Structure 1
Amino acid sequence: MFALLRGAVVVTAWATLGISGAVLAAGSELHHDHHAAQPGEVKLRALKPGEKWPTDETLRKGMEAVRSAVVAAQADATANRLDAAGYGRLADSLDQQLAAIVRGCKLTPEADAAFHSVVLGPLTHDAGTMRGSPKIEIKKVALMGITQTLRHYGEYFQHPGWDANRAPAP
């Protein structure tokens, strides 16, 4: 879980994230060499008003791919046209993108810990819910959670032009 406060991010890392699919297959890659987060509680310094965590090209490109997949599925989900297989394909796509981000990111230890807690944990959890829940309504709620996490990414991480609700320009 995490709590977002005005002008600050206070992060409590999840003891178990429910990581699935390609992200789970990445295994130890989730804890790459510069990863400062350890299981348990991770406290990050408060961000100053307007300050955001730095990103790198790998993270920005990967998050744009995540956003594109989510935006493409939202209309079908809203119109109840996205079936269980469609949610599963979306979850698989997200897992692949997130695994690529984890393999290639070169963030500072503090930004990396913030990303893992504020973005990666919730995204992998919700992707797992979309894949594993037998109920379409629960899958739809998980997709809404992913959309909210994309908003948090834009609020707390430097990504010029980020808009969680639109696909990036070609």
Structure 2
Amino acid sequence: MSDKQQLSKLLAVFGLTLGLVATSVWAAETATHKHDHDQADARAKLSLNNGKKWAADESLRKAMSNIRNAMDASLHDIHEGKLSSAKYSALAGKVNDEVGYMVSNCKLEPKADAQLHLVIADILEGVEAMEGKVKKVKRQDGAVKVIGALEKYGTYFDDPGFKPIKD
């Protein structure tokens, strides 16, 4: 196995681990509906780069556009509660594949990369829920989480071609 393949596998495992940890935290908060402001303040938060959006490289723009388009194509069925479990799983798979592409091709500077990881954590939380892996969290709520992460991406990253999803 080449060094690049080993690195790709390592990054994929890291991403999945991050997603599982973040999902546990999100699921606990969602299930209990408690808001501990001290805990929230202790976690990293998205921020602008001295008032400006963070730079986005080509692979990031491509992957986020693909995630946006996949979510948008299913939006009506998601809102209407008509997306089947199998279709949620397929959608989650598409999104997860794009996250893998994004992570393995990332060329952002470290501070921008750290901000991106906050967005990716939200995406992976949504993916886990869409796959039906988070008890007490509906698949539809996972889709909403991914769409929220896309909105954050558009707010915090400089991607002139990115269009928010219209409800």
Offset from partner CA, 1:109-147 (integer Å, 9 cap, x none): 110011011x10010111011102488971111111111
Offset from partner CA, 1:44-79 (integer Å, 9 cap, x none): 876333x01111000000100000100011111112
* Percentage of pairs with the same residue: 30
1:29 aligned to 5, 8, 11, which one?
11
Give the direction of change, closer, same or farther, for the CA distance of 1:85–1:43 in structure 2 (3 Å limit).
closer
Please say if residues 94 and 127 of structure 1, whose CA atoms lie closer than 8 Å, have aligned partners that are also in contact. Answer: yes
Please say if residues 54 and 158 of structure 2, whose CA atoms lie closer than 8 Å, have aligned partners that are also in contact. Answer: yes
* Structure 1 counterpart SS, 2:73: helix
Please say if residues 128 and 134 of structure 2, whose CA atoms lie closer than 8 Å, have aligned partners that are also in contact. Answer: no
* TM-score where L is the length of structure 2: 0.69
Unaligned runs of 5+ in 1: 1-25, 33-39
Where do residues 127-138 of structure 1 align in structure 2 (5 Å cutoff)? 127-133=127-133, 138=138
Find the aligned partners of 1:41 and 1:96 in 2 and give their Cα distance: 27
In the other structure, the counterpart of 2:23 is none
* TM-score where L is the length of structure 1: 0.68
Higher share of residues assigned helix: 2
Find the aligned partners of 1:54 and 1:81 in 2 and give their Cα distance: 37
Find the aligned partners of 2:101 and 2:70 in 1 and give their Cα distance: 15
Alpha-carbon offset, residue 27 of structure 1: 4.3
Where do residues 145-164 of structure 1 align in structure 2 (5 Å cutoff)? 145-164=145-164
Q: What root-mean-square deviation, in Å, do the aligned CA atoms of Structure 1 and Structure 2 show?
A: 2.8
Find the aligned partners of 1:41 and 1:137 in 2 and give their Cα distance: 22
Offset from partner CA, 1:80-111 (integer Å, 9 cap, x none): 22011110000011010100000001000110
In the other structure, the counterpart of 2:65 is 64
Find the aligned partners of 2:103 and 2:129 in 1 and give their Cα distance: 20
Please say if residues 44 and 110 of structure 1, whose CA atoms lie closer than 8 Å, have aligned partners that are also in contact. Answer: no
Give the direction of change, closer, same or farther, for the CA distance of 1:120–1:79 in structure 2 (3 Å limit).
same
Unaligned runs of 5+ in 2: 1-7, 16-41
Alpha-carbon offset, residue 28 of structure 1: 1.9
Please say if residues 125 and 145 of structure 2, whose CA atoms lie closer than 8 Å, have aligned partners that are also in contact. Answer: no
* Structure 2 counterpart SS, 1:132: coil
What is the number of residues matched between the two proteins? Answer: 132
